[in-house]
Structure 1
Amino acid sequence: MRKQADLCQKVLKKAKYIEKIVNGLSNDNYFVITKHNEKLVVRIAKFDPLLDRNCEHDIVKAIAPFNIDVPCIYFDKTSGDKITIFQEGYHLDKYKKNDLKKVALLIKKFHSLKLKCTRDFKSLEKLNSYYEKLTKKPFPLSKYSNLISKYQNYLEKDEKILCHNDIVKGNLLFTKEKLFLIDYEYAAMNSPMFDLVSFISENDIEDKESINYFLETYYQKVINDEIMQKFMTFYCFLDLLWGMWALAKYQESSEQIYYDIYLTKINRLDKNI
């Protein structure tokens, strides 16, 4: 491992002030003030064999010129540890109309770059992998065969571009001046619709007016039945995908948070399907 590989730990040890700010599922994050009064965020990555930190590094580097992510000043490809410039900001629990507009336009800006990377998200393979990991299977996956087939048909027709794939509230950092889309651990080639649905479903936005406004802002046109049917297919599939991920995590770790996520996803899936 390179000498620089322990830089994050050195920064933490020599910090004038340190505060743990986020208990992430994949990382531990710390707000740090150095002896030179620099304000930083240090990420100590948790090991996850499913994450490709080298690919994440390349993606962070590729998007840096476009002012979409917070400025990154250090990234260790091996461990996934990184240091970014601290931005005074906040995350939202509820989104007003103007917030939805900001998110839609930022995702549109990111997608419009049409960047490429070496990693494909492979959502169908992920679903099967998570399901096969289950020691106790709650239902046969064939229960949702029609949904999976519809999703696959859409996926095969869509142009694949670099997508974020994890637009949870913690990855949207609002500041006074702008909005940042952060943390590209799951970024990979995928259908743009995956990101749109990721934002809506992961932030529990369920009223039709907000969803419609968000999609109209992104597409810059009235949303027809064809787009909405595609949206709902992805919406249901994502609940199935992340429901199986959460259940696999729960059976592996016995942490209640994962079982709660599983129940939320599957109950909503069965309601919407």
Structure 2
Amino acid sequence: MIDIFFKNHEYKKLGGLNNNNYLINYFGKKYVLRIPCKENKNDFSNENLILELLNNENLSPKKIYHNPESGILLSTYLNSSNLTFNDFKSKKFLKALTKELKKFHNIKNDNIKTFNPFLEIRSNINNLKKLDFKFDYDIDIFLNKVDLIEKKYLDNKSLGLCHNDLNISNILYKDNKVYFIDFEFSGICDIYFDLATISWFLNTDERMFLLKSYFGEVDGFHLSKLYDYLYIVKLWNASWSLKKSLTAKSDYDYKLGGNLILDSIISYSPS
């Protein structure tokens, strides 16, 4: 299909697990075209609303076209720096990131849907159980910890508009300014879900700096909640990956990826 629309223009395939992404050179101007894979069943109407809100705040590349039913998205191309993990861990980048992330979290709109990672994890795992999925662990061990963490913060939530998939590939960096892309999972959630996702590959000192850059101060509560939500972030990613393994047609081994995450969190105990 891409050949039909752009047969007279340059294009190249970009990375992506859940979508087909293309860089288009159209009469000398560059755009990014995203076409969701058939198995991608995310709520694109919610994403459409979020894209509109972000365009007004200069927090993402400008949207040219978005179909709220199919999820097809055409946006301007931003020639950003190629972020390495060393860049990602630097104080300069973390300061720039938290500055824009706070703007993102403070966007208000009553029509934005809620993203509840606790319910998402339970749903993914229960669906796998119904299909008699062969887990490498007693999966209820993980679910019991989910219950403990959810109960712990029932009366201490910090809700905001969250990206909910803030891995390095969904963050652009140009001239010390951060932009975000890919909002399929975005919704109202506890902001610690985003902070924990960012902290996944940071060490303790870098996590402390992240929290201080965001909140201005750090105490035991901030760090404890970050680690608890890091568990939730990892388990959500693991459960999503295991579920994805049942339908994925790519070369990536989703089951192995999910199990590697479970290996890394099996010993975690919520404080």
Q: TM-score, normalised by structure 1?
A: 0.86
Query: Deviation of residue 90 (structure 1)?
Result: 3.1
2:237 paired residue among 235, 242, 257: 242
Compared CA separation, residues 154 and 64, structure 1 to 2 (3 A)? farther
**Residues 250, 259 of structure 1: 8 Å contact kept:** yes
1:29 paired residue among 13, 18, 21: 21
**Residues 148, 237 of structure 1: 8 Å contact kept:** yes
Query: Deviation of residue 9 (structure 1)?
Result: 7.4
The letter for the 1-side match of 2:191 is P
The letter for the 1-side match of 2:265 is L
Whole-angstrom distance in 2 between the partners of 1:53 and 1:9: 24
Compared CA separation, residues 98 and 126, structure 1 to 2 (3 A)? same
**Residues 155, 191 of structure 1: 8 Å contact kept:** no
Whole-angstrom distance in 2 between the partners of 1:81 and 1:148: 34
Map residues 166-181 of structure 1 onto 2, 5 A cutoff. 166-176=165-175, 178-181=177-180
State percent identity of aligned pairs: 21
Whole-angstrom distance in 1 between the partners of 2:72 and 2:24: 14
Q: TM-score, normalised by structure 2?
A: 0.87
RMSD: 2.2
**Residues 18, 40 of structure 2: 8 Å contact kept:** no
Match of 1:103 in 2: 97
2:146 corresponds to 1:148: yes
Map residues 66-85 of structure 1 onto 2, 5 A cutoff. 66-85=57-76
**Structure 2 residue runs without a partner (length 5+):** none
Compared CA separation, residues 229 and 263, structure 1 to 2 (3 A)? same
Whole-angstrom distance in 2 between the partners of 1:38 and 1:129: 43
1:224 paired residue among 219, 224, 236: 219
**Residues 164, 193 of structure 2: 8 Å contact kept:** yes
SS of the aligned residue for 2:83 comes to coil
Match of 1:128 in 2: 122
Structure with the bigger percentage of helix:
1
Match of 1:259 in 2: 255
Whole-angstrom distance in 2 between the partners of 1:117 and 1:155: 24
**Structure 1 residue runs without a partner (length 5+):** 1-5
Residues 162-200 of structure 1 show CA distances to partners (whole Å, capped at 9, x for unaligned) of 211000111001123522111111001111111111122
- Number of aligned pairs? 260
